[in-house]
């Protein structure tokens, strides 16, 4: 913990030094966005002097084919899905507010709803339902470098056709219940809503969760910092017996090179989780290179670490391509089994117009557990309209 605190102090000092040398402000596009009030600078459809509307419609065809050693090949999973996102941005400076709604065949969900008071151009406090701070990849489809998120564990929840491979590797008594919970987005902390299992020890939704709480936000363009206090981070705990915290710091060392460190922790009656995250992004023009590392401690004898390597190149205004590799390694994760995955993805991104894109992705994953091995092939075609 002392080493972690020292890293944050060093990062903060470096960020302040660079900011003083450069004079960057939050309004500049080549500064860090962590802690910034992006409500003020976001694009959208003006609904008056103080209100903007933005969103997207995401139409997805997905194909998943899984093989498990020692069993017959599973049937390929093919499906269409449609979802949409609508964001309302309100600027009543020094007070700003955002409301994010997501719609799918399962209904309409409230993703985010928060207000922010800015004490000055650099510092403010936000409160309400907000996205968690840790992780390189965005929660919004138009901001991704591929169709899916990088880690196999994430796609168990967001792309349920892939989850069948895990259900064939774990205890058969609980396999169908595990698959049901994973594909419906339930975590160990949502047991009152989930399909009951004799052992609810499976992976929660690790990243991009929406939680209620309050955040302190600081951003001067070259350095950003957030500190959050929440009623839950991987599942709601209603702020009764326990709290969850997260904090992150970001430095734009020079335009195009950004590094971030963050930590989150939640401890309640069901599960104790700590998450350390670090990533580095270099964006010299049309090329974007990124590296990310995570370490999750679930309790004294359960741990998951992962890495991501990504390269994206914008060949023309019409065409971009992404290649991405992720590795996950877990100890005593699924019913106290070891889990390891290697996933490689290739995506082609076609910008047909400024507001319409067609994206294609192929991903292959090798999975090893002490109960058996397997692999899965995924193919996606996405039509994405944003406004």
Contact predicate 275/263, CB 8 Å = yes
The pLDDT value given to residue 138: 93
CA angle 116, 121, 122 (to 5 degrees): 85
Is pLDDT above 80 for 282?
yes
Largest CA-CA distance found in the chain, in angstroms, rounded: 63
The pLDDT value given to residue 239: 59
Between 299 and 348, the more confident residue is: 348
Residue 152: phi and psi, rounded to 5, are -60, -40
Is pLDDT above 60 for 74?
no
- Of 58-67, 199-208, 312-321, which gets the smallest average pLDDT? 199-208
- pLDDT tier at 69 (50, 70, 90 boundaries)? low
CA–CA gap between residue 3 and residue 187 (Å, rounded): 31
Which helix (H) or strand (E) segment holds residue 134: the answer is none
DSSP 81-127: EEEEEEEEEEEETTEEEEEEEEEETTEEEEEEEEEEEESSSSEEEEE
Between 155 and 25, the more confident residue is: 155
The pLDDT value given to residue 18: 36
Tell me what the pLDDT averaged over the chain comes to: 80
Q: Determine the 3-state secondary structure of 192 from DSSP.
A: coil
Q: Which domains does the chain have, with CATH numbers?
A: 2-386 (2.40.160.10)
Is pLDDT above 70 for 126?
yes
Between 269 and 146, the more confident residue is: 146
CA–CA gap between residue 89 and residue 96 (Å, rounded): 8
- pLDDT tier at 173 (50, 70, 90 boundaries)? very low
Query: How many CA atoms within 13 Å lie on the side-chain side of 377?
Result: 6
β-bridge pairing 372-386 and 356-369: antiparallel
Q: Report which listed range, 21-30, 49-58, 163-172, 373-382, is most confident.
A: 49-58
The pLDDT value given to residue 161: 54
Q: What value does the mean pLDDT take over residues 368-385?
A: 85
The pLDDT value given to residue 276: 96
Q: What value does the mean pLDDT take over residues 16-43?
A: 62
The pLDDT value given to residue 106: 79
Tracing tokens 């406004």 back to the chain, one arrives at 387
The pLDDT value given to residue 369: 74
Q: What value does the mean pLDDT take over residues 194-223?
A: 74
- Of 29-38, 294-303, 374-383, which gets the smallest average pLDDT? 294-303
* Bridge partners of residue 296, in order along the sequence: 275, 304
Contact predicate 51/75, CB 8 Å = no
Q: Summarize pLDDT for 209-268 with one digit per residue, the tens.
A: 899 999 999 999 999 999 999 887 776 555 566 788 999 999 999 999 999 999 999 876
CA–CA gap between residue 283 and residue 296 (Å, rounded): 28
Residue 71: phi and psi, rounded to 5, are -130, 165
DSSP summary character for residue 142 = G
The pLDDT value given to residue 47: 92
Is pLDDT above 60 for 53?
yes
Q: Summarize pLDDT for 312-357 with one digit per residue, the tens.
A: 999 999 999 999 999 999 887 755 567 789 999 999 999 999 999 9
Strands (E), the chain: 45-46, 51-68, 77-92, 95-104, 107-118, 123-131, 210-219, 223-230, 244-254, 257-267, 272-282, 287-299, 302-314, 319-331, 339-351, 356-369, 372-386
Between 148 and 175, the more confident residue is: 148
The pLDDT value given to residue 237: 58
The pLDDT value given to residue 194: 42
């Amino acid at each position: 913990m002392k080493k972690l605190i020292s890293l944050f102090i060093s990062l903060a000092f470096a960020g302040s030094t660079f900011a003083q040398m450069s004079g960057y402000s939050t309004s500049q596009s080549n500064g860090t966005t962590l802690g910034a009030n992006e409500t003020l600078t976001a694009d959208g459809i003006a609904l008056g002097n103080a209100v903007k509307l933005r969103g997207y419609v995401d139409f997805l065809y997905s194909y998943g084919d899984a093989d498990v050693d020692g069993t017959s090949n599973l049937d390929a999973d093919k499906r269409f899905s449609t979802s949409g996102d609508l964001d309302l941005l309100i600027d009543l400076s020094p007070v700003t507010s955002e409301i994010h709604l997501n719609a799918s065949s399962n209904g309409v969900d409230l993703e985010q709803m928060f207000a922010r008071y800015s004490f000055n151009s650099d510092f403010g406090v936000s409160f309400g339902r907000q996205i968690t701070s840790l992780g390189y990849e965005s929660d919004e489809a138009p901001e991704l470098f591929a169709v899916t998120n990088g880690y196999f564990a994430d796609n168990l929840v967001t792309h349920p056709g892939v989850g069948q491979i895990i259900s064939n590797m774990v205890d058969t008594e609980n396999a169908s219940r595990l698959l049901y919970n994973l594909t419906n987005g339930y975590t160990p902390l949502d047991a009152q809503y989930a399909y009951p299992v004799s052992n609810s020890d499976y992976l929660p939704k690790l990243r991009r969760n929406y939680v209620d709480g309050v955040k302190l936000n600081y951003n001067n363009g070259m350095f950003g910092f957030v500190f959050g206090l929440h009623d839950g981070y991987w599942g709601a705990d209603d702020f009764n017996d326990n709290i969850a915290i997260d904090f992150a710091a970001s430095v734009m060392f020079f335009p195009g090179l950004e590094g971030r460190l963050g930590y989150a922790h939640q401890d309640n009656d069901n599960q104790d989780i700590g998450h350390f995250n670090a990533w580095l992004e270099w964006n010299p023009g049309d090329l974007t290179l990124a590296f990310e590392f995570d370490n999750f401690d679930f309790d004294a004898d359960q741990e998951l670490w992962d890495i991501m390597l990504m390269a994206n190149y914008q060949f023309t205004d019409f065409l971009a391509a992404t290649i991405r590799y992720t590795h996950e390694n877990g100890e005593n994760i699924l019913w106290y089994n070891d889990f390891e995955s290697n996933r490689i993805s290739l995506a082609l991104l076609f910008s047909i117009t400024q507001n319409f894109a067609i994206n294609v992705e192929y991903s292959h994953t090798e999975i090893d557990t002490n109960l058996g091995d397997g692999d899965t092939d995924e193919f996606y075609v996405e039509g994405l309209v944003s406004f």
